[in-house]
Amino acid sequence: MARRLDYSARYPLHSTKELYAALSNRDYWHARMAEMQKYAPGNEVAQFEADDSGISVELHHILTREMLPEIAQAVMRKDMVITRKESYEPFDAEETEGKYSASIPAGPGSLGGTIRLFPTDTGCTLRYSSVAKVFIPMVGPRLEQLMLVNLVDLFRAEAEFTVQWLDENLSVR
């Protein structure tokens, strides 16, 4: 049985147009991955495209086996290489939607979901609706929960970085 989780990253004082512009910027993604190297040294932007048809980005996160919790080390015999793909539709008025997935070669499950960028009274919100599924009897539910808890930590760190990046890189509001 899959586990689900919604997470909302709020960006007060920033519009959806500003956030979408950041997501459309190659420099933003490279700066974000450089920041995420504080948590795992093997983070990189593998692919990036932004044009009139939307945004597509592929990220690689490498977690050494020693960084993994014991329950995950029991399943993973090598370093964990996570390929994360995000895509966003073209920006339409004040909202857009997207999707993401994260995969591990020969991994025992799946993680992915939808993304929705929308305005709020004080700025904008990027909402992730995630689904985690691990196909291992007995430990599957514990690993699913672990994945989602760590995902919230990752989304929170990315949102904090994004607010800082927006504050530092927007010349005109």
Query: What percent of the chain is modeled with pLDDT above 90?
Result: 61
Indicate the burial class of 58 (C-beta count within 10 angstroms; 0-12, 13-18, 19 or more): middle
* Residue carrying the six token digits 């020693």: 66
**pTM to 2 decimals?**
0.87
**Is there a contact between 59 and 40 (Cβ–Cβ < 8 Å)?**
no
Confidence of residue 8 (pLDDT cuts 50, 70, 90): very high
pLDDT digits (tens, 9 = 90+) for 32-65: 999 988 877 778 999 999 999 999 999 998 777 6
Question: Which range among 72-81, 87-96, 140-149 has the greatest average pLDDT?
Answer: 87-96
Characterize the bridge pairing of strands 80-88 and 96-103: antiparallel
Confidence of residue 173 (pLDDT cuts 50, 70, 90): very low
pLDDT digits (tens, 9 = 90+) for 63-90: 776 766 676 667 666 776 789 999 999 9
